[in-house]
Amino acid sequence: MSELTLAQRFEAVQARIHAACARAGRNVSSVQLIAVSKRQPLEALREAYALGQRHFGENYAQELRDKHAALSDLPGLRWHAIGPLQVKNAKYVAQAAHVFHALENVEVAQALNRRRTHDALRCLVEVNVAGEGSKAGLSPDALPAFLAQAANWPALTVVGLMAMPPLSDDAEASRPHFRAVATLAKQHGLTELSMGSTFDFEVAIEEGATWVRVGTALFGERLR
Ligand SMILES: *Cc1c(COP(=O)(O)O)cnc(C)c1O
């Protein structure tokens, strides 16, 4: 893996996205690759940008804030906040993010709504379809009541659902979870699906993902 250049890894992931789209009979333009750059050095992000990558995903609000500032010279770069968020850090996401993928609680939604001053922040609600106790995300049962409150947050636009199935050696293990998320989104008239990471993004595309969040396959191992 470390033998490969960043350009080769990006090319390989793009090829896998194309193949998954072909298998699923989908147009490649319906799937957006988010390069998950958490704990990757700025030089790696600049190199990815030079290769044409524009969408980057960060988990930690302070890291997002710092990278947003450090790379503000790159036109068209779009930040996706993909990790769990605490109220006290909502301001960083409100300032820097193009899309927030991990909305799951009312207090955070209210804080983002107060802090967002430019265009509406597009948000995905994170759902815990596998019913894992330890995992972030709303249970599907809680989704209707949560979505009903979205009208109270004019600075946010809920556009879809996000999910992170249990890690597994077998990408196929994610398929039923992805399918459940896609069904749930359809039931609620939501069009965007943020699902799939390095180990299962092709299955996610086959099940309708519109945003895949890929880190390791693009950048290699993360810094500690
Ligand atoms: C880190 C992370 C990813 C990317 O994971 P990889 O296995 O490196 O592709 C995707 N989504 C979320 C929410 C993450 O935290």
Asked whether residue 224 is assigned to any structural domain, the reply reads no
Residue closest to 80 by CA, chosen among 51, 104, 47, 54? 54
Which protein residue has the closest C-alpha to ligand 1 atom 11?
A: 213
Domain of 58? 6-215
Cβ(83) – ligand 1 distance below 6 Å? yes
220 within some domain: no
How many domains does one find in the chain? Answer: 1
Q: Specify the CATH number for the domain of residue 66.
A: 3.20.20.10
**Does 1 reside within a domain?**
no
Is the CB of 112 within 6 Å of ligand 1? no
pLDDT in tens, 39-74: 999 999 999 999 999 999 999 999 999 999 999 999
Q: What is the reported pTM?
A: 0.96
Q: How far apart are CA 64 and CA 57, in angstroms?
A: 9
Percent of the chain exceeding pLDDT 90 equals 91
Distance (angstroms) between ligand 1 centre and the Cα of 199 equals 9
Residue 179 CA to ligand 1 center (angstroms) comes to: 19
Q: What is the pLDDT of residues 195-209, one digit of tens each?
A: 999 999 999 999 999
Using the atom order of ligand 1, give the atom closest to the CA of residue 214.
9
- Please identify, by atom number, the ligand 1 atom nearest to the C-alpha of residue 102: 13
Strand pairing of 32-36 and 192-195?
Answer: unpaired
- Is the pLDDT assigned to residue 147 strictly greater than 80? yes
Distance (angstroms) between ligand 1 centre and the Cα of 187 equals: 26
Ligand 1, from 36, 128, 195: best to mutate by most atoms within 8 Å of Cβ?
Answer: 36
Mean pLDDT over 171-192 rounds to 97
Highest mean pLDDT range out of 1-15, 88-102, 135-149? 88-102
Q: Is the CB of 198 under 6 A from ligand 1?
A: yes
Domain for residue 102, yes or no? Answer: yes
> CB-based burial of residue 148 (10 Å sphere; 0-12 exposed, 13-18 middle, 19+ buried)?
exposed
CA dist., res. 168 & res. 79, Å (int): 27
- CB crowding 40-53: b at 16 or more within 10 Å, else e: beeebbebbbebeb
Q: Does the C-beta of 36 come closer than 6 Å to ligand 1?
A: yes
Q: 191 is written with which tokens?
A: 């069009």
Question: What distance, in Å, lies between the first and last C-alpha atoms of the chain?
Answer: 18
Q: Is the pLDDT of residue 1 over 70?
A: no
Region of 161 on the Ramachandran plot (φ > 0 left; ψ -120 to 50 alpha; else beta): beta
